[in-house]
Amino acid sequence: MKHAYLGRTGLKVSRLVLGTFNFGWSTEPKDAFAIMDKALEEGVTFFDTADSYGAWWGRGRHGWSEEIIGQWFALGGGRRESVVLATKVYEAVDDPSEGPNAEKGVSAYKIKRHIEGSLRRLGTDHVELYQLHHFDPHAPWDEVLGAFEDLIAAGKVVYAGSSNFGARHVCLAQAAARGRGFLGLVSEQHKYSLACRLPELELLPACRELGVGVICWSPLASGLLGGAALAGGGERSKAAAGELDAAGRAGVAAYQELCAEIGESPANVALAWTLSNPAVTAPIIGPRTAQQVADVTRAVDLTLDDAVQQRLDKIFPGPGGPAPAAYAW
């Protein structure tokens, strides 16, 4: 497994991130344990979760993903010590004691309260990366950054990150952090794939210039780029495939033909493509089996030549590069 520095920090992380969104509502604990064991075996040591993960489509419960990870840590064998652990705060997590503050947001109240719940479920005294799951327009940066400074000083959090932020949000956060003499955000977790290239306009260039590492979520576009989108697959993959129009289905079919032609799996090509962007630290994988973990690790060693990159650009056109050059001249 290859590694990269997380943004401008000195922390090295694996170039694939194990996503645990499916743990609980879709993936049974015993299967999740096998997936995490295989991830460590393959050198995937960067794990991502959230306090809201574990529930989806009316199934499961919030926090279940963190609980499963905590149960796995409790098995010992250096599991916790081997993992760079990331979780998130923002969503409501069904805690009636919070009253109106149970609603979505990242107030200092919620940040400090929710880290305690996450640490309890994870069975650990700290997380390496604590991420704002979404931008909250009602929480000023002095409040948010002050809460992070307190958690870092208390040893409960090592680094602060964000997720689903616009480029302007990242820039404003970093400007506020600089004024406080604080490191600020070290990573931004963002939706980015061959099928979703809008971040190339503003987000990716901004993060690269500011030294904010980009972690890609849904690099397989909810399974569309995983190879089975047109022939079934999981629930999310079926739902995504069902939303495709004729042109979209033709694009996915052309992509699968290209992957077959070069002898690489569609999933590995999609992951390797994200890894080829210098702004990207790592894409998130969401395997449903331990074997799928092993199957995608080849992506970190896969180099797509210029001819393949050009064909991918034709199948999935990007916005034309960074703004404003992409559209202004």
* Catalytic sites, residue numbers: 53
Task: Determine the Cα–Cα distance for residues 182 and 326; give it in Å rounded to an integer.
Answer: 33
Q: Helix or strand or coil: residue 43? A: coil
Give the H/E segment covering residue 297: none
Task: Determine the Cα–Cα distance for residues 214 and 205; give it in Å rounded to an integer.
Answer: 10
Task: Determine the Cα–Cα distance for residues 144 and 115; give it in Å rounded to an integer.
Answer: 13
Pairing of strands 55-56, 59-60: antiparallel
User: What would the two tokens of residue 192 be?
Assistant: 């980015």
Per DSSP, what are the bridge partners of residue 44? Answer: none
Task: Determine the Cα–Cα distance for residues 156 and 152; give it in Å rounded to an integer.
Answer: 6
What is the full DSSP assignment across 252-273?
Answer: HHHHHHHHHHHT--HHHHHHHH
**Phi/psi at 292 (nearest 5 deg)?**
-65, -30
